[in-house]
Structure 1
Amino acid sequence: MTATAVLACISITCLAAVPQAAVTAGPDTPGYGDRADVDNLAQFGFTEREYAISGLARKFKGVGTLGSDGKWAASVVSSNTPYNTMMIVRRPTDPARFNGVVIVEWLNVSTGYPLDVDWGMAHEAILREGYAYVGVNVQKVGVQGVQKLTAYGSRYAAGSIPDDDISYDILSQTAQALRDQSHLILGGLKPQKLIATGHSQSAMRLITYANAIQPLDKVFDGLFIHGRTSSGAKLASSDSMPLNTAIRSDTNVPVFLLQSEMDVALQPGTSRQVDTDLIRHWEVAGSAHADQYLLDSIGKVSTREVGWTPPECGSPYNAMPFYEVEIAAFDHLKNWMTTGIAPPTAPRLQRDWLGGIKKDANGNAIGGLRLPEIDVPIARYGHVNFTTGSLAFLDLFACVAGGNTNYFTASKLQSLYPTHEDYVNKYKAAADAALAKGYIRPVEHANSLKRAQAAAVPQ
């Protein structure tokens, strides 16, 4: 080997080359998480197929101090851990409808089963705007969860992820496979840009991915981190993690951080994130970690897969249409990657002297990114809820994460909005402002006006 070649192979890129994965199409029958009928995929010109992805994965560990600035270094400590897992691919059937962007979701396994949270939040836009979507099961408990489902027999028996230390590399290998094997996985669609996305626990692991792995592998063109915690997950069990972690300011790709009011209220350290030319952080006033819209979407699949039925909670789930902001954020990230035009900034939620979120006279948050529902309210939107019956984990999770909506009384609505026309006019002005600021898309703006027209306000 020449001296030049030796020097080249000392580079980070050479040392961290992403291994090739083997991908095979799964059975041509509905499997776990199938949404073909749930979301009427065929009606939107989409097809869904499950694939198995397998190979030998790398494990990493942190190098030196993993500081709160997120500028982490990582080294490969092994490269031979076998894995076999599944991914779900939803894509436009007609190549002409494909917008060139693939959203790759780190499926959330907090409930013991892989859940496609960001599909649940953004699927309306994915379907109408021609994204391709891949949900990949990269954690051990997710594999174990699908293996428990007797309805699928031995379909998932070969699945194996021995530990979550290899989860980061499985994600990288998935992205690399999408580029190298698009003829198989995407039916010939040619991906131009890849986005990695994840919510909650998955977001925590994507923080680590953004700070330590993306700088090495460089396989994604953008990262979407939704509902993050203050710090990231460990690369290896021996790593020591800071209590609060920023996304590194020298990120090599755009990073969009989307937080609900609940997220930043319970994890105040996340609000310290600084916006840069390649980092954007939004905090949505009045929103919950997992709201009515998301839980309805997840519930359609969870009821079928594990027999889960929505629990009785002390209050209705949070009804703030947070999903509208997520749809706008994905569109901004797409444009950011393809044109270099950064998304608009958004105000942070205001805090009192104790660090809590300030509230107005109606009990709603002050500051933050504001939807018309928060500026022209018919309810108090919060994040304190609990089950009134079952204490099963899934029920607790739904109620606590789902937040609450406490609707105003008829007399209060009458005092705020003497006539329905008055309410609609005020709502429209707030919706127009949110659209002009780029916080919602035109379709969601039109839909929100329809909701306001149909609302029985005042009663």
Structure 2
Amino acid sequence: MNTRARASILLTLSLAFAGLSASAVPANAEAPAPPGQVAESAGATPVPTVQGPLAATAESNPFGAASHQEVPQDLSKLGYDEEEYLVSGTSNVYSWPAAGPAQIRTPDAPYTTRVLVRKPAEGQKFSGNVVVEMLNPSNLFDLNIGWAMAHEQIVANGDAWVGITAKPIAVEALKNFDSARYEALSFANPLPLTDPRNCATVAADSSRTTENGLIWDIYSQVGAWLKSNDPANPLRYGSPTTRVEHAYGFGYSQTGGFLVNYINGVHPLVVESDGEPVYDAYMVAVAGGAFAGAYPMNQCETAPPANDVRRQFKDVGVPIMRIMSQSDYLRGIGSRRADSDAPGDRYRHYEMAGAGHATPDELTFSASSEDIIAAGRSVPPASCNEGPRSRFPSSIFFNSALQNLDLWVREGIAPPRAEPILVRDGAPVLDEFGNVQGGLRSPFLDAPTSTWYGTATGASFCFIAGYERPLGQDVLDGLYGNHGDYVAAVKSSVRALEDQAFLTDYDARRLLTEAAQSKTP
């Protein structure tokens, strides 16, 4: 069921309840704008110069392409196409010394980055929505986490998804992977090494010759491109004007924190210059408070302190959903604030009970191990000391959240509210099975067969990977007299959550099928 179909149902309920070589570019590619010539957007935000779509061949393919994921995905079977572009322009480097909009530190720094686009193959199936994600670079290469978490809803609704390489360290990995394809990519620092403003000390994943702070204007300009009538816009579908109606910003973990900077520091500048925002709503995932709650606006200044007002949202003017996991909600507890339906301050805060931060899906739906190694990076571990990364399906929450965010923007239907995970004296309140109470619920906790942990031990990001510990047979026998009792418990949970719009109809069907096919108890 797509968003518009669900809208009519929910509205009824709400009333009832008050630089590549030419050979790398296909012959039919749109010609980029001439050097120095910038296409016009609807507002003052410039549209970048675009090269592509780049050819995908047996010898050269996009890093993280669906066909080269850890588990390859045939987008054609979903009715989707994938294209890769290089986008170039100039970006201001900002400083953010205090609450309020950011300030220009260094103007007009040239950049070139790459953009990965997945869209319905047929224009009539395009919903008009595009989810635009700054690709997560925490493992020092691009992770397609937004696609991993919400591609089922993206495809079900006919949305497009766009991923942007957002950090120089990820550019380095791309050049290691395919130096010819990605030769033109550049996040060059506009300040020479001799300039005292080019700080002598930068973070371990950064360099004085590059600048992390170019991403803010890049993010605005890519969104403006997708909303523009530029001939290179892949979401025109041959029409004279863009088919994009709404752009939704997405960030996960580090790039969720990037979104905090963008929303509070740069979004107001865009509204001032353009008269409206580029992004019509935001989904800030597993980033808040003292956990990835904000980042340095440029690589020479520190991030806002953990309790700084710049890490919180207030009166942004467009809907925002912040979604924390069981791995990060305690460190991020400072991000909690009251939900709001006020027109200028639409906000929801969710905490996913049982869900881990670093999931198997973020590896499954990103570049293959072979390609990660070719990029000169280490393959993140899929298992920790306690066993495999938690299999808890965070996607069920992201699918429904994206559906509800779209309904909020398009139809004004306010999303459901959920209590946060219950905390007392700085620690979670657990049930008799060791699972947290409160938060976004699911049959995994309300018809339990396991205890779900948000943290594990081991290498890399195991501390936020989480794991599962199955309940003993005697416990299961005491909970469920037979298989039918278990299925009935799952059905009760699923139906209640679907009625409240915390589950999509397709996730509800899948959970019921999985329960019926299980051998519990």
Residue equivalent to 1:229: 288
TM-score by length of structure 2 reads: 0.78
Q: Give the residue type in structure 1 aligned to 2:431.
A: D
User: Contact 1:85 / 1:137 at 8 angstroms: preserved in 2?
Assistant: yes
User: 1:62-101 maps to which residues of 2 (within 5 A)?
Assistant: 62=96, 65-66=98-99, 72-101=100-129
1:201 equivalent among 225, 237, 254 = 254
Aligned counterparts of 1:81 and 1:448: Cα–Cα separation in 2: 49
Aligned counterparts of 1:197 and 1:335: Cα–Cα separation in 2: 16
User: Contact 1:229 / 1:267 at 8 angstroms: preserved in 2?
Assistant: yes
1:211 equivalent among 264, 268, 277 = 264
Q: Secondary structure at the match of 1:134?
A: strand
Residue equivalent to 2:368: 302
Is 1:111 aligned to 2:139, yes or no? yes
Aligned counterparts of 1:453 and 1:42: Cα–Cα separation in 2: 30
Q: Higher mean Cα deviation, 27-36 or 50-59?
A: 27-36
Aligned counterparts of 2:492 and 2:45: Cα–Cα separation in 1: 50
Q: Secondary structure at the match of 2:102?
A: strand
Shift of residue 36 of structure 1? 4.0
Shift of residue 77 of structure 1? 3.0
User: 1:37-76 maps to which residues of 2 (within 5 A)?
Assistant: 38-62=72-96, 65-66=98-99, 72-76=100-104
Query: In the superposition, relative to structure 1, how do residues 110 and 45 fare at CA in structure 2: closer, same or farther (>3 Å)?
Result: same
Aligned counterparts of 2:231 and 2:152: Cα–Cα separation in 1: 25
Residue equivalent to 1:8: none
Aligned counterparts of 1:229 and 1:235: Cα–Cα separation in 2: 16
Is 1:437 aligned to 2:471, yes or no? no
TM-score by length of structure 1 reads: 0.88
Residue equivalent to 1:184: 232
Q: Secondary structure at the match of 1:452?
A: helix
Shift of residue 187 of structure 1? 4.7
Residue equivalent to 2:47: 20
Aligned counterparts of 2:313 and 2:110: Cα–Cα separation in 1: 31
1:360 equivalent among 428, 431, 444 = 431
Aligned counterparts of 1:319 and 1:55: Cα–Cα separation in 2: 41
User: Contact 1:108 / 1:202 at 8 angstroms: preserved in 2?
Assistant: yes
Higher fraction of helix:
1
Query: In the superposition, relative to structure 1, how do residues 341 and 183 fare at CA in structure 2: closer, same or farther (>3 Å)?
Result: farther
Give the aligned length. Answer: 423
Query: In the superposition, relative to structure 1, how do residues 455 and 293 fare at CA in structure 2: closer, same or farther (>3 Å)?
Result: farther
Q: Give the residue type in structure 1 aligned to 2:473.
A: A
Query: In the superposition, relative to structure 1, how do residues 283 and 311 fare at CA in structure 2: closer, same or farther (>3 Å)?
Result: closer
Residue equivalent to 1:32: 63
Residue equivalent to 2:480: 417
Aligned counterparts of 1:232 and 1:311: Cα–Cα separation in 2: 27
1:376 equivalent among 436, 447, 471 = 447
CA deviations over 1:98-151 (Å, ceiling 9, x no partner): 1110000010000000111010111122122210110001211111111111xx
User: Contact 1:44 / 1:128 at 8 angstroms: preserved in 2?
Assistant: no
Shift of residue 336 of structure 1? 1.1
Residue equivalent to 1:282: 350
Aligned counterparts of 1:291 and 1:312: Cα–Cα separation in 2: 10
Aligned counterparts of 1:73 and 1:48: Cα–Cα separation in 2: 35
- Percent identity reads 27
Shift of residue 288 of structure 1? 0.8
Shift of residue 216 of structure 1? 1.6
Aligned counterparts of 2:158 and 2:231: Cα–Cα separation in 1: 17
Aligned counterparts of 1:293 and 1:434: Cα–Cα separation in 2: 23
Residue equivalent to 1:7: none
2:316 equivalent among 247, 251, 254 = 251
Shift of residue 296 of structure 1? 3.2
Query: In the superposition, relative to structure 1, how do residues 381 and 437 fare at CA in structure 2: closer, same or farther (>3 Å)?
Result: same
Gaps of 5+ in 2: 1-42, 188-209, 238-242, 271-276, 374-378
Q: Secondary structure at the match of 2:259?
A: helix
User: Contact 1:36 / 1:47 at 8 angstroms: preserved in 2?
Assistant: no
Q: Secondary structure at the match of 1:18?
A: coil
Aligned counterparts of 1:23 and 1:240: Cα–Cα separation in 2: 32
Q: Give the residue type in structure 2 aligned to 1:435.
A: E
Query: In the superposition, relative to structure 1, how do residues 264 and 96 fare at CA in structure 2: closer, same or farther (>3 Å)?
Result: same
Q: Give the residue type in structure 1 aligned to 2:337.
A: Q
Gaps of 5+ in 1: 1-15, 67-71
Is 1:322 aligned to 2:394, yes or no? yes
Q: Higher mean Cα deviation, 110-119 or 340-349?
A: 340-349
Aligned counterparts of 2:161 and 2:229: Cα–Cα separation in 1: 15
User: Contact 1:210 / 1:247 at 8 angstroms: preserved in 2?
Assistant: no
Aligned counterparts of 2:278 and 2:235: Cα–Cα separation in 1: 20
CA deviations over 1:213-255 (Å, ceiling 9, x no partner): 1122121111110010313112233466131345332111111
CA deviations over 1:404-452 (Å, ceiling 9, x no partner): 0001122221121120000000110011111111111111000000011
RMSD: 1.8
